[in-house]
Amino acid sequence: MLYHLLIPLHTIWPIFNVFRYITFRSIYAAVTALLIVLVFGPRFIEKMREIKAGQAIRDDGPKSHLKKQGTPSMGGVLIIGAVLISTLLWANLKNVYVWLVLWVLVSFGAIGLIDDIKKVRFRDPKGLSGRWKLFFQVLISLTFGMVLYRFHLVDSSLSVPFLKDVHPELGPLYLPFIVLVMTGTSNAVNLTDGLDGLAIGPFIVCAAVYTLFAYLSGHAELSRYLLIPHVRGAGELAVLCSALVGAGLGFLWYNAYPAEIFMGDVGSLSLGGALGAVAIIVKQELL
């Protein structure tokens, strides 16, 4: 939004030229998301306590986890909100990749939200059945892949890390591969979540790495020099990934030991899905 509002003013005030730079907007996207989570975090946690949206602990888990019963959950809502606001403020909203990843973020988050609401309302630690969660994950991933494939937004070859001349062509098999990557990444974050800072910590590192890859992939000269696939327009995803990093750092402040809140499935599924979507777009699925 700010990009579109302020760029036209550069002819009057040259200082607004800085909004052309992805690096500038990425830094401020991270700072914006960080501040949103830090500022609104305490009120959000208090609200979750008021509605008794506490973490449900499975009976078959370690006994040491039982003390976390009742810790506010659904912190992913705060993360998603911060990422959406920050990205809409700082990203180029004409970029199709940005909208696709935001759609994945919200869609996977909706699955997790239904799961979390079921856990909170019915006090059911199992929440939404795994079969239904997987069904919706596959459906969203398949839709995402079909859009990429139909409009030729990515090619169907793979980039193998450390092997610069190896680019296997998957052809029609690339679509199920997309589904595998996105559902796998989403569920990986989901399975990791549950302990203080356990999921959000590694996620921040991964999001930071993909921020770098998004920027490099979108830069024609740097991608050619580093022998990584060039994806025109993918650089704008660095802004979104930076927002993920900033929101993650802000959430870690409240999720570190002793955790005041957990992200819940609404957070873990959405963050994992978004990370998988970015990996596919920048052609670093195997990273």
* Residues annotated within a binding site for Mg(2+): 190, 265
The Cα 39–Cα 224 span in angstroms is 41
**How far is CA 4 from each of CA 7, 19, 81, 92, rounded to the nearest angstrom?**
6, 9, 21, 7
* Binding site residue list: 190, 265
The Cα 111–Cα 113 span in angstroms is 5
Distance from the Cα of residue 85 to its chain's centroid: 14
| Partners of residue 287 on adjacent β-strands | none
Residue 244 near residue 202 (C-beta atoms within 8 A)? no
Cis omega (within 30 of 0) for bond into 258: yes
Tokens of 112: 């997790």
- Give the list of residues 6+ apart from residue 81 with CB closer than 8 angstroms, or none: 36
User: What is the total residue count of the chain?
Assistant: 287
- Cα angle 133, 139, 180 (rounded to 5 degrees) comes to 80
Q: Which three-class secondary structure state does DSSP give residue 72?
A: strand
Residue 202 near residue 233 (C-beta atoms within 8 A)? no
